Amino acid sequence: MPSTLTLAPAPPSEAAERVRLEVREFLAAELAAGSFETHVDTWLSGVDPAFSRKLGERGWLGMTWPKQYGGHERTAMERYAVTEELLAAGAPVAAHWIADRQSGPNLLRYGTEAQRREILPRIAAGECYFVIGMSEPDSGSDLASIRTRAVRNGDGDWVVDGAKVWTSNAHHSHYAIVLVRTAPADPTARHAGMSQLLVDLSLPGITINPIRILDGGHHFNEVVFDSVVVPGDMLLGEEGAGWHQVTAELAFERSGPERILSTFPLLAAFARRASSEAELATLGRLSARLLALRQLSIRIAAALDRGELPDIPAALVKDVGTTFEADVAEEIRRVVDVPASLDSPDPLGRALAEAQLHQPGYTLRGGTNEILRGIVARGLGLR
């Protein structure tokens, strides 16, 4: 039986390389104009709606979507080139990131025609932002144990009660795709009875509480739903099919280049300075790992382009990729004589501080490594 981890190589793409050069020229001009500064982990911490709109104007959001929904019908490899260059530059892409990466594809796959026409063009324009409503205060990577519930009222609308946690940039976003229980939990069928709702975050009864990370930054949140009335036509997909839909969505969440490039600005700053034997050896090890991980990530992008759903390889890439991101900070710290400080006048010292302070989140968001290894093991028939 062929391994579920076997993926065909990504074919060469001249179109992807052309758009890559266009993005590099754009980023060089934006940096020269001072419109942004390079930082670590900006796909979660770098919120700049004006920058997101610039990308939308250039056709770099919703790239693979049908034109009828504001998309551009380009390939996944072209989109990969764009996102890779934005991440490598440490550009402020957090506002639109989740909407473009997974919420839009989720709407394309499961949304109603009205939902698609209302929301997708705004995402592609860089004007509509989404958060992920999966994890809960007492249900982290074990999504089957969620307790947020939604029940129909007499008008056919959904009344939602519960809380979601680690909802990145909910305070800047317009919608959440929320995984809820629409039927009582069944111990014999843990994945049954769940559905997804499209929730407007401006609805009455929603409270967004900040969760600050080690550097005091605020992109994580707890979102509390207190008898929030969600219109009945905002069910996403089928009632009771939430688990299947979430599984498909996570393939987009876990497989992109952001799972290996969160700390790339630190690695690039280090590469420009490495000179001692220890520094060059560290640079060689990290570069070799990055090149291997990039090939894995690109193959998943190509699989998505073919219409496949590489959920098991995506879990693997997320596991080894985010481990690598943390290792970048740790290995560089060991060999440089540069104090890590957010206030350092040295770009390397600032990038090192940012990477260290964000490090606990790398292997948490998108599923902990322990959960991901279990997914891979099950996919290979080992448990």
CATH number at 214 reads 2.40.110.10
What's the confidence (pLDDT) of residue 9? 85
Q: Which residues are tagged catalytic?
A: 253
Under the banding of pLDDT at 50, 70 and 90, the label for residue 3 is low
Q: Is 348 inside a domain boundary?
A: yes
- Is 136 in the same domain as 201? yes
124 pLDDT more than 70: yes
Under the banding of pLDDT at 50, 70 and 90, the label for residue 132 is very high
- Is 124 in the same domain as 142? no
200 pLDDT more than 80: yes
- Is 85 in the same domain as 153? no
CATH number at 40 reads 1.10.540.10
Segments in the chain forming alpha helices (H) = 14-33, 42-45, 49-57, 76-88, 94-98, 104-110, 113-124, 242-255, 258-261, 264-273, 277-305, 311-335, 347-362, 369-379
251 pLDDT more than 80: no
- Is 159 in the same domain as 224? yes
What's the confidence (pLDDT) of residue 226? 98
Q: Which of 240, 274, 305 is the last residue of a domain?
A: 240
1 pLDDT more than 60: no
61 pLDDT more than 50: yes
Q: Is 358 inside a domain boundary?
A: yes
98 pLDDT more than 60: yes
What's the confidence (pLDDT) of residue 2? 43
What's the confidence (pLDDT) of residue 380? 79
Q: For 69-78, what is each residue's pLDDT tens digit?
A: 999 999 989 9
pLDDT above 90: percentage of residues in the chain: 69
- Is 273 in the same domain as 366? yes
Mean pLDDT confidence for 189-216: 93
| Total domains present in the chain | 3
- Is 206 in the same domain as 290? no
Mean pLDDT confidence for 130-135: 93
What's the confidence (pLDDT) of residue 4? 64
141 pLDDT more than 70: no
Q: Is 6 inside a domain boundary?
A: no
- Is 105 in the same domain as 191? no
Q: Which of 1-5, 275-279, 376-380 has the lowest mean pLDDT?
A: 1-5
Q: Is 3 inside a domain boundary?
A: no
Give the residue carrying structure tokens 């519960």. 162
Which letter, b or e, does each residue of 217-243 get, where b requires 16 or more Cβ atoms within 10 Å of its Cβ?
bebbbbbbbeebebeeebbbbebebbb
Mean pLDDT confidence for 169-192: 92
364 pLDDT more than 80: no
- Is 90 in the same domain as 213? no
- Is 268 in the same domain as 225? no
β-pair type (194-200, 235-236): antiparallel
What's the confidence (pLDDT) of residue 140? 62
β-pair type (130-133, 175-181): parallel
363 pLDDT more than 80: no
- Top mean pLDDT of 33-47, 194-208, 333-347, 369-383 is at 194-208
- Is 148 in the same domain as 116? no
- Is 289 in the same domain as 229? no
Cβ neighbourhood burial of 376 (10 Å; 0-12, 13-18, 19+) = buried
- Is 143 in the same domain as 232? yes
pTM listed for this prediction? 0.91
What's the confidence (pLDDT) of residue 321? 86
Mean pLDDT confidence for 325-340: 94
Q: Which of 89, 107, 129 is the last residue of a domain?
A: 129
What residue numbers bound the domain in which 264 lies?
246-379
Q: Is 56 inside a domain boundary?
A: yes
Q: Which of 240, 263, 296 is the last residue of a domain?
A: 240
277 pLDDT more than 50: yes
Mean pLDDT confidence for 45-66: 97
